[in-house]
Structure 1
Amino acid sequence: MKNKELAESIIKNVGGKDNVMSLVHCATRLRFVLKDNTIASAETLKKQKGVIMVVESGGQFQVVIGNNVNDVYNDIMEIGHFNELDASSASKNSRNILSKLIDIISSIFAPMLTVLVTAGILKGIVSFLTILEVIDPNTSSYTFLSVIADSAFYYLPIILGYCAVKKFGGNPFFGMALGGALVHPSIVAMMGGALQAETEFFSIPIELIPYQSSVIPVFFAAWFYSLVEKNLNKIFHDSFKKFISPLFGLLITVPLTFALIGPVATFLSDAISNGIMFVYQLNSVLASMILASVWQILVIFGVHWGLVPIFMNNIVSSGSDFILPILIPAVFGQTGAALGVMLRSKDKEFKSLASSSVLSGLFGVTEPAIYGVNLPNKKPFIFGCIGAGIGGGIMGLYQTLIYSFGFPSVFTFIQIIPATGINAAFYAAIVATIAAFTIAMLLSYFFGLPKKTANTMQSDLSSNVDNQLVDQIIIDSPMQGQVIALSQVNDQTFASELMGKGVAIIPTIGYVVAPQDGEVVSLFRTKHAIGFLTDSGVEILIHIGLDTVKLDGQHFTAHVEMGDKVKQGEKLVSFDIEAIKQAGYEITTPIIVSNSDNYHDVQSLCQQEDIAFGQSLLVLSQK
């Protein structure tokens, strides 16, 4: 029931079913492609219980759920009937090439990763048990276990064919048929165990290449098949095109794949692998340190998907991969940072959140640690990246490899043991992971939590403040005008305090200034809203007007950029009050403390009164 309620809330806050073009999910995220991102309420979703974070990246509206993402996804699909969506419609919008590429890769590979990771872990277990001589490779038991572990990889072209053709807008079951043709026993028999075999198709010379476990060739073949099928559907009559279009699609695509697409794609995949290996071998330590340090940053923006086909292709082409082991310190660095914060914090509720995120991190899911613990406190995330970089350098020094596919977790260590037995590279992986985890944990424990700065004030500042000395933070007004309560704002999202506590100001002068010394952490493209983090740790959202996002930046001028450090009173954004009113929009400006939950209370010091720039506006009581 909780998942269904969450699913209903997500559908509503992404703008409803009609605003959804496509939806897939990965290990922790729902990945929407929306018709109009501006009508989705990311801030409301961030406040929703069960949602860890909302990220807009790679042309996708990503809702981070955590470990139970599959259950929420299924409920969304059931409630919204999203199975009826046209999978190809997501490619029809005007996103840039990189965004489209990330969307295509994540949509194709995300649904199949669970089975591949599971199979990869099992391959590692079988290998480990063989090294320990628990299982004899000459027994039927070994054969059965190996078949279970290898089947998903051996028939990967069938799985990938289904996912790729579905994404490209064709009939996915014919994608399975396409992939099946590449690994059919008769084709394998024609190879006779050779790396290449010459044959012909109606006098067309063909050089057969092993396609078992292949990635890039079937990817391009699926794209070409979908293109053929869609164009043939435009030609043939509705009464028989469902059968005739796929018939001709397969007859054209399969031979062409064997003759041209497959060899060219294989050449490209080998070139990519060799190129990356060349760069890696120039300085494996430095390359590993950089990748490990920035990996979680790539994860935050969802662009790490661009490297997934490279991991898989490396394992297919050479039987091992050097990139995936480098990511183990990246995962355990953030996990160690979360543990350090948990040990230092005295807040029982926060310690509970941090402890669950540490447990998830051990199994390779770092989003709860990143979004719930490390990023909100900022320094722990940086310390996690530092620990990752040091661990990555150790991995690069010993050039540790992984021999089956899987994302970094506690299970990955058995996947980095070569068939010849435990070696120095394995021990290096253990040392690198411990180093990343420990360094991040210690730095976060001693330096991760910000020192709370507060002003001690007498109770006569406000009738709503207790008659005793308490730790407080005073936020000054960033605008001049009339102060009103949030409950009076004509927008339920703000009035209900879903986005946080605060007040609203009806401005009389058209600009906003910094309420304290701090940093601009977000600036909307339309310049109608600005996120501000004070040096005392208060997150403030200043939303100029209601529904003014629809003005698309008209009548607004930004004087700062995201990431700028500013002083109190420094001008942030200017706006034309009269022009905005004439365009039909209210100028009422909510001023929200986004992290209100971090404080015992947030109260107004001035309601239903005029206020000037720099006068005391809000008082925040520390927990």
Structure 2
Amino acid sequence: MDYKLLANEILSGVGGKENINTAWHCATRLRFKLKDESKADTQKIENLDGVVTVVKSAGQYQVVIGNAVAKVFEPLAQLADLENTDNQDTETTTNKKENIMNRFIGFISSVFTPFLGAMAGAGILKGLLALFVAIGWLTDKSGAYQIWYAAGDGFFYFLPVLLAFTAAKRLKVNQFVAVALATTLVYPTLVAISGSAQTINFFGIPVIPTTYTSSVIPILLAVWVLSYLEPVLNKVFPEAVRNIFTPLFSLMIMAPLTMIVVGPLGASVGTLLSSGVSAIYNTAPAVAGAILGAFWQVFVIFGVHWTFVPVMMNNISKLGYDPLLPILSVAVLSQAGAALGVFLKSKDKKMKSLAGSSVATAVLGITEPTIYGVTLKLKRPFICAAIAGAIGGAIAGGGQAHASSFTLPSLLALPTYLGSGFTSVIIGLAVAFILGTVLTYFFGIQRSKETLASSVVVNEKKPGNEYLAVPIEGTIIPLKNVKDEVFSSEVMGQGVAIVPTSNIVKSPVEGTISAVYPTGHAIGIISKDGAEVLIHIGIDTVELDGRYFTTLVQQNQKVTQGEAIVEFDREAVKTAGFDTTVMMIVTNTPDYNISVTPDTTTKDTQWVISLAEKNTKNETMDQGEIKHV
């Protein structure tokens, strides 16, 4: 795939670099803060090869790519000159327009996303080391163990330093001052003093002995306070000395303020959160497991899953373990199972391929391609996965499973669940995966939709048939559902209706323009084989008297299939109060056997109707077919 071309098309789709405030990426998504979301062409972006879907959540415009997201982001960053667009003024303006929850979610996601992969790797390494010791491959005294443990645990030990750097970048303060503040919190001498429960004084003010290694909330609060102090100091000191005196006074003020006030406050908040989670979990662990197992992927869809990250990491820091992560792995495996069910049941080659690859990525903890490309798209598999996740989560939660280290919920995280409740995790994961597969296979594929998409694909023309193509991109609906009795009653003939997502109407056949209405809302075409086709754009749009319509052809003009024949402004038509549904009617229906099975989505002009001409000697004819794309 040409990632640079894809990046350029996405950039064009979001309204160009001038419409971007900030942009970054996580494990699977390009995340944008746009100045004006209405300028983004969501349909265009979703139609691009390489894009799974577009999600608008937490004040972000998110383009789901999958595992290749980093390869797309790199050329995108170059094309959009992202460092120049990521400025204080635009960010501040954007944040003021968002509610507090969206701002908080955006902050947390941008802080953790840059090192999420490294953090997951370090967590798995710690879990593997625990496994190696348990089965006797290593001892905790061996050199190999100590070096590897330092690599895995060191990441979490100095986590406040990493958080300081990314939080400072997000809040637009000096990153190195923030890092210096974090290193103060984990400075060996102060850590040793806190560990021995000694109390020191700062000019007579007692400093509560608290250990901040592996902590999350204290440093985030400290950098947040720094983001208010630094602008004040920049105004106080003249530009000639600002680069030295602002950092100097920032450290002199923030270091004691953090140790005396901000740090202990953050630690208390963390202890309160951990105690709250523990209380809920210990009261009804199976119920907590069922709820998280069922709804975790719903949280992912809306982007609110980021709010759990500080809580889980805080649990590990304060309690030494986290009870939530094993349950989340169960929810992830249930999605993988549902994708496998679709893979086994679907006959559509494209869906089968997507579902097969989604199983592998979901098992490894990346569920967005699975959710948006398979389970949520087909709806029922997502519900099946939620049911399986609830049952598996109840088993894992009921067994009081724990994670000893933070990592991405996935099968790879299994070593971090060693210890109390490990057997319940294994059973919960197996049940969620198998049940997700079985439920989806038997109940997750709707015959009216997915079976249509998989079983009636037209790959070649049949002798004697004439084929019509969908005239505009959009969602095909049954003609009987059109809110106009003339069309829905099929008195004018059989056909299909399309709820458009494009402004260009194309000829469904090769033929001749037989009628061009002055208002531009309707076109008649006679195919080269004699099918009389009427394209009617909107309901009652004749009342617009041609406004918002541009006819691109003339009467008696020869046209080819797929050639543009009318352009209209569907948003303007909709704003004017008119239904924009486009009808394609075969007005000489009695001359054909037509069987139309609509209700699917089109992205390109593809075959939707085949017409089998009547044979007076044999009334058994081929039925109409639809191609799903």
Q: TM-score range by the shorter chain?
A: 0.7 to 0.9
Contact 2:13/2:45 (CA < 8 Å) preserved in 1?
A: yes
2-structure distance, mates of 1:208, 1:12 = 54
Q: Larger deviation: 332-341 or 238-247?
A: 238-247
Which position in structure 2 is the counterpart of 1:44?
A: 44
| Partner amino acid, structure 1, of 2:601 | N
Per-residue Cα deviation, 1:189-231 (whole angstroms, up to 9, x for no partner): 333x33x431012333212311111100000001111211122
Pairwise CA distance, 1:39? 0.7
TM-score under structure 2 normalisation? Answer: 0.76
Which position in structure 1 is the counterpart of 2:607?
A: 601
1-structure distance, mates of 2:154, 2:179 = 15
Match among 158, 161, 170 for residue 158 of structure 1? 161
Per-residue Cα deviation, 1:562-588 (whole angstroms, up to 9, x for no partner): xxxxxxxxxxxxx546xxxxxxxxx97
Pairwise CA distance, 1:474? 4.4
Please tell me whether residue 22 in structure 1 is matched to residue 45 in structure 2: no
Residues paired across the two proteins, number:
520
Please tell me whether residue 174 in structure 1 is matched to residue 177 in structure 2: yes
Structure 2 matches for 1:332-481, cutoff 5 A? 332-418=333-419, 425-452=421-448, 464=467, 474-476=478-480, 478=482
| Partner amino acid, structure 2, of 1:33 | K
Contact 2:159/2:216 (CA < 8 Å) preserved in 1?
A: yes
Contact 1:600/1:620 (CA < 8 Å) preserved in 2?
A: no
Contact 2:503/2:568 (CA < 8 Å) preserved in 1?
A: no
Please tell me whether residue 284 in structure 1 is matched to residue 285 in structure 2: yes
Pairwise CA distance, 1:447? 1.7
Pairwise CA distance, 1:153? 0.5
1-structure distance, mates of 2:85, 2:209 = 37
Per-residue Cα deviation, 1:340-361 (whole angstroms, up to 9, x for no partner): 1101112233222111111111
| Partner amino acid, structure 1, of 2:18 | D
Per-residue Cα deviation, 1:36-89 (whole angstroms, up to 9, x for no partner): 111111121111111111100111111111111122222211221112233544
Contact 1:337/1:384 (CA < 8 Å) preserved in 2?
A: yes
| Partner amino acid, structure 2, of 1:226 | S
Contact 1:596/1:602 (CA < 8 Å) preserved in 2?
A: no
Relative to structure 1, is the Cα distance of residues 473 and 13 closer, same or farther in structure 2, using a 3 angstrom cutoff?
A: closer
Relative to structure 1, is the Cα distance of residues 492 and 303 closer, same or farther in structure 2, using a 3 angstrom cutoff?
A: closer
Which position in structure 2 is the counterpart of 1:563?
A: none
SS of 1:63's equivalent in the other structure is: strand
Per-residue Cα deviation, 1:277-319 (whole angstroms, up to 9, x for no partner): 1122221111110111000011111111111110111011111
Which position in structure 1 is the counterpart of 2:117?
A: 114
Per-residue Cα deviation, 1:470-496 (whole angstroms, up to 9, x for no partner): xx984347366999xxxxxxx995438
2-structure distance, mates of 1:547, 1:244 = 58
Structure 2 matches for 1:294-313, cutoff 5 A? 294-313=295-314
Which position in structure 2 is the counterpart of 1:221?
A: 222
Contact 2:21/2:35 (CA < 8 Å) preserved in 1?
A: yes
1-structure distance, mates of 2:54, 2:92 = 22
SS of 2:448's equivalent in the other structure is: coil
SS of 1:27's equivalent in the other structure is: coil
Relative to structure 1, is the Cα distance of residues 49 and 120 closer, same or farther in structure 2, using a 3 angstrom cutoff?
A: same
Contact 2:339/2:358 (CA < 8 Å) preserved in 1?
A: yes
2-structure distance, mates of 1:367, 1:415 = 23
Relative to structure 1, is the Cα distance of residues 22 and 621 closer, same or farther in structure 2, using a 3 angstrom cutoff?
A: same
SS of 1:159's equivalent in the other structure is: helix
Pairwise CA distance, 1:452? 3.3
Per-residue Cα deviation, 1:391-413 (whole angstroms, up to 9, x for no partner): 00001111100000011111111
SS of 1:38's equivalent in the other structure is: helix
Structure 2 matches for 1:106-145, cutoff 5 A? 106-145=109-148
Relative to structure 1, is the Cα distance of residues 169 and 111 closer, same or farther in structure 2, using a 3 angstrom cutoff?
A: same
Instruction: Give unmatched runs, 5+ long, in structure 2.
Output: 457-461, 470-475, 493-499, 507-533, 544-566, 585-598, 612-623
Pairwise CA distance, 1:604? 11
2-structure distance, mates of 1:60, 1:417 = 37
Structure 2 matches for 1:77-92, cutoff 5 A? 77-86=77-86, 88=88, 89-92=90-93
Q: Larger deviation: 83-92 or 196-205?
A: 83-92
Relative to structure 1, is the Cα distance of residues 590 and 155 closer, same or farther in structure 2, using a 3 angstrom cutoff?
A: farther
2-structure distance, mates of 1:151, 1:404 = 12
2-structure distance, mates of 1:298, 1:145 = 34
Relative to structure 1, is the Cα distance of residues 599 and 450 closer, same or farther in structure 2, using a 3 angstrom cutoff?
A: farther
TM-score under structure 1 normalisation? Answer: 0.77
Pairwise CA distance, 1:186? 2.6
Contact 1:599/1:622 (CA < 8 Å) preserved in 2?
A: no
2-structure distance, mates of 1:432, 1:225 = 44
Relative to structure 1, is the Cα distance of residues 316 and 492 closer, same or farther in structure 2, using a 3 angstrom cutoff?
A: closer
SS of 2:211's equivalent in the other structure is: coil
Please tell me whether residue 55 in structure 1 is matched to residue 78 in structure 2: no
Relative to structure 1, is the Cα distance of residues 576 and 473 closer, same or farther in structure 2, using a 3 angstrom cutoff?
A: closer
Pairwise CA distance, 1:597? 5.8
SS of 2:406's equivalent in the other structure is: coil
Relative to structure 1, is the Cα distance of residues 268 and 591 closer, same or farther in structure 2, using a 3 angstrom cutoff?
A: farther
SS of 1:339's equivalent in the other structure is: helix
| Partner amino acid, structure 2, of 1:435 | V
Structure 2 matches for 1:66-77, cutoff 5 A? 66-77=66-77
1-structure distance, mates of 2:125, 2:540 = 67
Instruction: Give unmatched runs, 5+ long, in structure 1.
Output: 467-471, 484-490, 512-543, 557-574, 578-586, 606-618
2-structure distance, mates of 1:594, 1:220 = 49
Per-residue Cα deviation, 1:523-551 (whole angstroms, up to 9, x for no partner): xxxxxxxxxxxxxxxxxxxxx973748x9
Which position in structure 1 is the counterpart of 2:102?
A: 99
Pairwise CA distance, 1:162? 0.4
| Partner amino acid, structure 1, of 2:256 | P
Contact 1:506/1:588 (CA < 8 Å) preserved in 2?
A: yes
| Partner amino acid, structure 2, of 1:50 | G
Contact 2:202/2:256 (CA < 8 Å) preserved in 1?
A: yes
Relative to structure 1, is the Cα distance of residues 174 and 85 closer, same or farther in structure 2, using a 3 angstrom cutoff?
A: farther
1-structure distance, mates of 2:542, 2:235 = 55
Relative to structure 1, is the Cα distance of residues 506 and 388 closer, same or farther in structure 2, using a 3 angstrom cutoff?
A: closer
Contact 1:20/1:34 (CA < 8 Å) preserved in 2?
A: yes
Contact 2:43/2:501 (CA < 8 Å) preserved in 1?
A: no
Identity of aligned residues (%): 36
Contact 2:570/2:580 (CA < 8 Å) preserved in 1?
A: no
SS of 2:67's equivalent in the other structure is: coil
Relative to structure 1, is the Cα distance of residues 473 and 26 closer, same or farther in structure 2, using a 3 angstrom cutoff?
A: closer
1-structure distance, mates of 2:346, 2:181 = 55
Which position in structure 2 is the counterpart of 1:572?
A: none
2-structure distance, mates of 1:405, 1:621 = 48
SS of 2:199's equivalent in the other structure is: strand
